[in-house]
Copies of this chain bind each other. A is one copy, B any other.
Amino acid sequence: MAMRDAAVDERDGRARLFHQVVVDLCRLIRDGQFRVGARLPAERELAERLGVSRPSLREALRALEVSGIVESRHGGGTYVRDAFDPGFISPLALALEATGDATGDLWEVRIVFEPPIAARAAMRAGADDLTRLEALVEQMFELAPDLARNDHILAVDREFHAAIARASGNSVAVRVVQLINQVLFDSRRHFTTSLERRLQACARHREMFDAIRGRDPVAARDAMLLHLHEVEDYILGGLDGKHRRGLERGDAVADARHLAAEQWVQASGSGMFAGEAKEGKIS
Interface positions of A (Cβ within 8 A of B): 3, 6-9, 16, 18, 22-23, 25-27, 29-30, 55, 58-60, 62-69, 74, 80, 83, 87, 91-92, 94-95, 97-100, 102, 105-106, 108-109, 112-113, 116-117, 119-120, 123-124, 132, 135-136, 139, 152, 155-156, 158-159, 169-173, 175-176, 179-180, 217, 253, 256-257, 259-260, 263-264, 266-267, 270-276
Contact = CB atoms under 8 A, between A and B. Distances in A.
Contact of A271 (B68, B97, B109, B266): B266
Contacts of A98: 25-26, 29-30, 64, 69, 80, 83
A66 B152 CA distance: 30
A119 B260 contact: yes
B256 A267 contact: no
Contacts of A260: 119-120, 123, 217, 272-273, 275-276
A63 B62 contact: yes
A83 B173 CA distance: 22
B253 A169 contact: yes
A263 B272 contact: yes
A67 B87 contact: no
Given A112-B116, A260-B273, A156 B7 contact: yes
A116 B112 CA distance: 7
23 contacts: A7-B136, A26-B98, A30-B99, A30-B100, A55-B55, A64-B94, A66-B91, A95-B175, A102-B171, A105-B170, A105-B173, A109-B172, A119-B260, A120-B260, A172-B180, A176-B176, A256-B276, A260-B275, A263-B271, A264-B273, A267-B267, A267-B272, A270-B271
A244 to B, nearest CB: 17
Contacts of A109: 170, 172-173, 176
A272 B276 contact: no
Contacts of A59: 58-59, 62
Contacts of A60: 62
Contacts of A67: 66, 91-92, 94-95
Given A260-B276, A263-B271, A276-B256, A83 B99 contact: yes
Given A26-B97, A139-B7, A263-B274, A170 B108 contact: yes
Given A109-B173, A171-B102, A6 B94 contact: no
